[in-house]
Structure 1
Amino acid sequence: MSTTPPPPLRLEPWSDADLALLRASNTPAMTAHLGGPESEAQLLARHRRYLDPEANGTMFRIVLPPGGETVGSTGFWEHEWGGEAAYETGYAILPEFQGRGLAVAATRAVVDAARADGRHRYLYAFPSVDHVASNAVCRKAGFELSGASEFEYPKGHFMRSNVWRADLSAGAGAA
């Protein structure tokens, strides 16, 4: 296990201003493992969903202190898996900020946020089996690999995904 401290970051609630972040993340490179870029109408619908945490889960922009530079997004939302209610998470770090450990630090922070929410025992992530970097994020953030499965994301796009799980009942700081 690495002794390098995680990079400092903050998770801030999604706001109206974050539509620009969705657009910046909607590139062929950023969506290659997710079925490709979305249309403007799909982005606007996603943004509206992200603004309604009661109905659609808790989304965050990832911000670097001290200046508050936005580097990506993450969040957690309701998801049933294996017949049990759980949370699901996802993350996106803008290309110019990748390779700095920010996705791992943000994923650990979202584990803590989901744990504090307290409604479910598990938080899942479903990266494509072919997405090496995203699978590494799950492993480094302390998730347990529990297999692979066909997974639909976005709606109508099926992919072979690894199933990563964090146990939220574990002590704080453990995934």
Structure 2
Amino acid sequence: MTNFWLEPWDERGPGLERRANTPEMQAFLGGVESEESIMSRHKRILDGVRDGTTGFYLIMVDDWEDPVGSVGYWEKEWLGQTVYEMGWKVLPGFQGRGLAVGATIAAIGLAAAEGRRRFAHAYPKVDNAASNAICRKAGFELLGECDFEYPKGHPIRCNDWQFDLKEVGGPP
């Protein structure tokens, strides 16, 4: 695995999002986004970090100045309880090095340390082999398939993967 570390999401985030805003990278996420959509998400992330409902990070590697990916979690209502939803991305030139799995495991530890939520979930499309493999390798439990909307108003079929944060020191 390539050496990496996480840095808090900041003004470098939109630049990363623009570099990842390609048909290849957005194939499972509803397609290429507008600049307005990128900046709106950036604002939501910063607002969530400020109010404590979101943890979002840039993935950094040795010998590369710019972020090569991101990982984060945010509060979501799911089946009658508030959980964290998790998401990640790694730019194509840095994929296949274990970065997404390592960064997801690191973010799980950060979410658990906050002690706010018992469970973290990820909802990759059922045919997104890479993201489903990341969930499995990071220790999530597959609960089954579910209907989901992403982006809003766009129904998709996903796998519901759950991570019990109490397993790494989260709340009981």
Asked if these proteins are the same fold (TM beyond 0.5), I'd say yes
Whichever residue aligns with residue 12 of structure 2, its letter is A
TM-score (norm 1): 0.90
Deviation at 1:32, TM superposition (A): 0.5
Structure with the largest fraction of helix = 2
Is the CA contact 2:109–2:168 (under 8 Å) kept in the aligned structure 1?
Answer: no
Partner of 1:54: 50
Aligned with 1:79 (options 69, 76, 80): 76
Is the CA contact 1:16–1:51 (under 8 Å) kept in the aligned structure 2?
Answer: no
1:92 is the counterpart of 2:89? yes
Deviation at 1:8, TM superposition (A): 2.7
Deviations 1:25-82 (A, max 9, x none): 1111101011101111111111111222134612111011365552101100001212
Is the CA contact 2:71–2:89 (under 8 Å) kept in the aligned structure 1?
Answer: yes
Aligned with 1:110 (options 89, 107, 110): 107
Distance 1:83 1:132 in 2: 28
- Distance 1:118-1:7 versus aligned 2 partners, 3 A rule: farther
TM-score (norm 2): 0.91
1:151 is the counterpart of 2:159? no
Unmatched 5+ stretches in structure 2: none
Distance 1:11 1:166 in 2: 20
- Distance 1:7-1:118 versus aligned 2 partners, 3 A rule: farther
Partner of 1:35: 30
Unmatched 5+ stretches in structure 1: 1-5
Whichever residue aligns with residue 31 of structure 2, its letter is G
Higher alpha-carbon deviation: 125-134 or 36-45: 36-45
- Distance 1:82-1:43 versus aligned 2 partners, 3 A rule: same
Whichever residue aligns with residue 57 of structure 1, its letter is T
Whichever residue aligns with residue 54 of structure 1, its letter is R
> How many residue pairs are counted as aligned between the two chains?
167
Partner of 2:9: 14
Q: Give structure 1 regions of 4+ aligned residues with deviation exceeding 3 angstroms.
A: 65-69
Q: CA RMSD in A?
A: 1.5
Q: What's the secondary structure of 1:170's corresponding residue?
A: helix
Higher alpha-carbon deviation: 66-75 or 156-165: 66-75
1:135 is the counterpart of 2:141? no
Aligned with 1:163 (options 153, 160, 167): 160
